[in-house]
């Protein structure tokens, strides 16, 4: 079992990584015997993991209710948030309750959002079940729901009380879901650590077959990087924005295509390519590094070209509504070389369009 601490003063919390974690009675920290909790999951995961988790929670003396949501990015909405709130009220959950998110990024975001607004804020625990949520989405306290005009436009910063990363859950992922998580892994390597990028290049085949030693190292590395950034800039006032490499373009793809038609990691992969091409056109990133990035994404099985039915001009309205836009000025996260990225303001729209066109 590996443990990392996200350092946020009195709101610091542990990230625990390992297999068969629920055999440890104290794993559900800060929940204690006799306390109340609400498990939130989706219909797919309810059939796979819900009963086992309920058994372990109740064995630990926790009084737990449950709410089961629809499965998919298209259900990351206010309506599903209201389902959680209604269940909490119906079961008379008070301000000392704890929500438990069992699922990927969608469940984690909705549950965290509900926790942040129920009676002005209650505790919640993240138990991520997808590779993408284990390496990225479950850590950092970003919560929210989508809007028809933009992804993640409604939400809060609300940190979990703990993150429990159980490797056993990865065994039921489809290949597409596993591969989608690799986009975020590669993102971290591009932004912060060329040595880690080389490690991913060398160990990609072991990650794809869920070799435990390599999976643990990979998840821990990503969580360590994100934890450090969050402790420096919890609410994305400056440096935390750099974690959004590929997301400005990627969110445009998700929003335009209809939520759920592209997996988040797939869209981010294309967004990384578009960001790399933008950087290259501005004279920052060397072509050899762009090719190296694209090659690794392709080897992982990730897409590197945007939707054929999405012309470059259709990206711009979404880019202009991106959360990193300040006073009408676009801010893009661009790789400068493998292992370093920067926040770039004032990129000419013609360069943005050219980078998108080259990635179609």
- What residues are annotated to the active site? 120, 142, 184, 226, 236, 240, 244, 247, 251, 264
> Rounded CA gap, 287 and 293, in Å?
10
Task: Give me Rg for the CA atoms of the chain.
Answer: 20
DSSP assignment of 68-128? EEPPSGGG-SHHHHHHHHHHHHHTT--TT-EEEEEESHHHHHHHHHHHHHGGG--EEEEEE
> Rounded CA gap, 214 and 212, in Å?
6
Closest to 93 (Cα-Cα) out of 68, 124, 69? 124
Cα angle: 20, vertex 26, 32; to 5 degrees: 135
For the chain, the first-to-last Cα distance in angstroms comes to 43
ω into 30 cis (within 30 of 0): yes
Number of Cβ atoms within 10 Å of the Cβ of 213: 9
Torsion of CA 208, 293, 146, 315, to 10 degrees: -140
Instruction: For residue 352, give both structure tokens.
Output: 């943005």
* 8-state DSSP, 327: T
Q: How many residues does the chain have?
A: 360
> Rounded CA gap, 27 and 305, in Å?
42
> Rounded CA gap, 91 and 304, in Å?
47
Instruction: For residue 309, give both structure tokens.
Output: 């039915």
3-state secondary structure at position 329:
strand
């Amino acid at each position: 079992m590996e443990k990392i601490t996200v350092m946020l003063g009195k709101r610091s919390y542990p990230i625990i990584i390992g297999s068969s974690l629920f055999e440890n009675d104290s794993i559900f920290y800060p929940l204690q015997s006799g306390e109340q909790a609400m498990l939130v999951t989706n219909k797919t995961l309810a059939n796979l993991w819900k009963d086992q988790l309920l058994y372990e929670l109740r064995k630990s003396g926790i009084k737990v209710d449950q709410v089961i949501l629809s499965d998919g990015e298209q259900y990351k909405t206010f309506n599903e948030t209201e389902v959680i709130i209604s269940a909490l009220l119906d079961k008379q959950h008070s301000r000392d309750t704890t929500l438990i998110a069992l699922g990927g990024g969608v469940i984690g975001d909705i549950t965290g959002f509900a926790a942040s607004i129920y009676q002005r804020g209650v505790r919640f625990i993240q138990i991520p079940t997808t590779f993408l949520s284990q390496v990225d989405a479950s850590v950092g306290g970003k919560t929210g729901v989508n809007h028809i005009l933009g992804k993640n436009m409604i939400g809060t910063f609300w940190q979990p009380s703990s993150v429990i990363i159980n490797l056993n859950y990865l065994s039921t992922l489809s290949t597409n879901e596993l591969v989608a998580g690799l986009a975020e892994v590669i993102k971290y390597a591009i932004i912060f650590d060329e040595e880690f990028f080389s490690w991913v290049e060398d160990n990609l085949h072991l990650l794809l077959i869920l070799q435990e030693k390599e999976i643990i190292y990979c998840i821990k590395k990503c969580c360590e990087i994100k934890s450090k950034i969050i402790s420096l800039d919890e609410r994305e006032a400056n440096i935390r924005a750099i974690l959004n490499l590929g997301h400005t373009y990627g969110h445009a793809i998700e929003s335009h295509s209809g939520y759920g038609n592209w997996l988040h990691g797939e869209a981010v992969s294309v967004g990384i390519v578009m960001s790399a091409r933008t950087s290259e056109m501005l004279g920052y990133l060397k072509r050899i590094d762009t090719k190296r990035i694209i090659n690794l994404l392709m080897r992982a099985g990730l897409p590197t070209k945007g939707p054929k039915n999405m012309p470059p001009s259709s990206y711009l309205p979404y880019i202009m509504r991106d959360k990193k836009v300040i006073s009408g000025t676009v801010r893009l996260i661009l790789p400068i070389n493998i292992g370093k990225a920067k926040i770039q303001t004032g990129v000419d729209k013609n360069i943005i369009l050219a980078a998108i066109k080259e990635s179609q």
